[in-house]
């Protein structure tokens, strides 16, 4: 009987880990780092806004786990843009970044590709990140598998 109870207890603990939701889209937001950091903490990329080499932190501040919904739209250049709604954790992180790192840059990567960089010029406390363009139709289809679409609420 003890073995049977132990098996059930183990299944209750181990089963949720084994059936975790598989993510289809990778969403990462990195912040501009200190250029004097070592290669273990930062890497160098060319900034689109200034054209200069900029150090970015290797560890992302936000990831796909922080996104709960998005709203895609077609952009003028044939790509797509999107508005991402973050969960409570992501909202707090974005708010903190916008206060502590004002004047620096945020780099947004989707599925391993650099999509855009955003200049931090004011406090962002609503938990929303706006990407103007650069997303493909395949990116949007993968996002639909992971997050709900933002839109008017049904009554």
What are the residue ranges in the chain where pLDDT is below 70? 1-21, 152-155
C-alpha to C-alpha distance for 20 and 14, rounded to whole angstroms: 11
Domains and CATH numbers, the chain: 24-149 (3.30.1360.200)
User: Is the pTM for the entire model greater than 0.75?
Assistant: yes
| Residue 153, pLDDT score | 57
R_g of the chain, CA atoms, integer Å: 19
C-alpha to C-alpha distance for 152 and 84, rounded to whole angstroms: 15
| Residue 148, pLDDT score | 93
């Amino acid at each position: 009987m003890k073995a049977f109870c132990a098996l059930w207890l183990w299944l209750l603990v181990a089963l949720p880990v084994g059936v975790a939701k598989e993510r289809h889209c990778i969403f990462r937001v990195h912040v501009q780092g200190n250029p004097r950091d070592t290669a273990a903490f930062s890497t160098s990329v060319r900034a689109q806004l200034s054209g200069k080499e900029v150090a970015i932190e290797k560890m992302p501040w936000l990831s796909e786990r922080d996104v709960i919904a998005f709203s895609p739209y077609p952009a003028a250049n044939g790509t797509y843009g999107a508005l991402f709604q973050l969960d409570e954790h992501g909202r707090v992180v974005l708010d903190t970044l916008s206060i502590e790192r004002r004047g620096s840059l945020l780099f947004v990567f989707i599925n391993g590709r650099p999509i855009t960089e955003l200049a931090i010029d004011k406090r962002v406390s609503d938990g929303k990140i706006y990407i103007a363009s650069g997303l493909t139709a395949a990116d949007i289809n993968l996002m639909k598998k992971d997050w709900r679409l933002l839109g008017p609420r049904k009554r």
